[in-house]
């Protein structure tokens, strides 16, 4: 598809203790159609999680986003696969991934860059709890959900 290679291929920057940090690209926050949205607080939290993981392992750890912003259509499609919460599934109708919340939610996994070893879900979850308002880390596929649901700006 024309333009897809460069689409959202830009680094996002936040200030951290007077330093600029840029470890995430906008395209990592894309939905299936290539639309992207991310709240500033989400990016700040992700950079902190990445930094803490690096300290924890003593080497670079990559934070990999598996899902970020969703439209209502995205949510319907995901619910067809995983079911709605009220039916015993995993998808909330008021999912914080929805665009109306402003890009406050991400799903993520992490890997040690050098070895490719996956960071255990519980380790990633506990580090995410330091920097996000809400974290869920009991999904069967091993990903962690994190969002800044108390963020009002
Ligand atoms: Zn999620």
| Residues with C-beta atoms within 5 A of ion ligand 1 | 107, 145
* Whole-number pLDDT of residue 120: 98
Residue 18 Cα to ligand 1 midpoint, Å, equals 30
Q: What is the pTM of this model?
A: 0.94
- 5-39 tens-digit pLDDT: 899 999 999 998 899 999 999 999 999 999 999 99
Which DSSP state fits 115?
T
Calpha distance 73→85 (Å, rounded) = 17
* Whole-number pLDDT of residue 152: 67
* Whole-number pLDDT of residue 1: 58
What architecture does CATH give domain 38-147? 2-Layer Sandwich (3.30)
Residue 142 Cα to ligand 1 midpoint, Å, equals 12
Calpha distance 52→50 (Å, rounded) = 6
Residue 97 Cα to ligand 1 midpoint, Å, equals 6
* Whole-number pLDDT of residue 4: 80
- CB 108 within 8 Å of CB 124: yes
* Whole-number pLDDT of residue 17: 85
pLDDT band at 2 (very low <50, low <70, confident <90, very high): low
- 74-123 tens-digit pLDDT: 999 999 999 999 999 989 999 999 999 999 999 999 999 999 999 999 99
Domain edges within the chain: 38-147
CB atoms near residue 153 (< 10 Å) = 6
- 130-152 tens-digit pLDDT: 999 999 999 999 999 999 999 86
């Amino acid at each position: 598809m024309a333009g897809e290679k460069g689409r959202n291929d830009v680094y996002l920057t936040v200030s951290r203790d007077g330093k600029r940090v840029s470890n995430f690209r906008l395209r990592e926050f894309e939905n299936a159609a290539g639309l992207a949205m991310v709240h500033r607080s989400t990016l700040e939290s992700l950079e902190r999680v990445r930094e803490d993981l690096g300290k924890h392992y003593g080497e670079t750890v990559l934070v990999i986003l598996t899902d970020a912003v969703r439209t209502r259509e995205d949510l319907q499609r995901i619910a067809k696969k995983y079911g709605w919460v009220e039916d015993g599934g995993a998808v909330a109708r008021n999912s914080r991934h929805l665009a109306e919340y402003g890009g406050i939610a991400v799903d993520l996994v992490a890997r040690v860059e050098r070895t490719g070893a996956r960071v255990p879900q519980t380790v990633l979850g506990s580090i995410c709890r330091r920097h996000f308002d809400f974290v869920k880390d009991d999904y069967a596929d091993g990903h962690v959900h994190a969002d800044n649901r108390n963020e009002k700006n």
